[in-house]
Amino acid sequence: MAADGTLLQGEVSDNPGALSDSIVIQKMLQGFLNSLIDEQVRDLRKEALENSIQDKDVR
């Protein structure tokens, strides 16, 4: 058994349901979308950088 149960049980909700506050939902969705886009842009930049390095290697 774990040493500290309270620290291992995670975030517990006795009555879970979809978020009811539409403003919170809207903001969370926007946060999700913004961070997805940021990650996608970062991946594309990384890929472009990697390709340019490989081009240099080949040359």
Length of the chain: 59
State in Å, rounded, how far the first CA of the chain is from the last one. 58
Residue 52 contacts another protein per CB under 8 A: no
What φ, ψ does residue 44 adopt, rounded to 5°? -65, -40
- Least separation in angstroms between residue 13's CB and another protein is 6
- Least separation in angstroms between residue 20's CB and another protein is 10
- Least separation in angstroms between residue 30's CB and another protein is 7
Residue 41 contacts another protein per CB under 8 A: yes
Q: Could you say which DSSP state residue 1 is in?
A: -
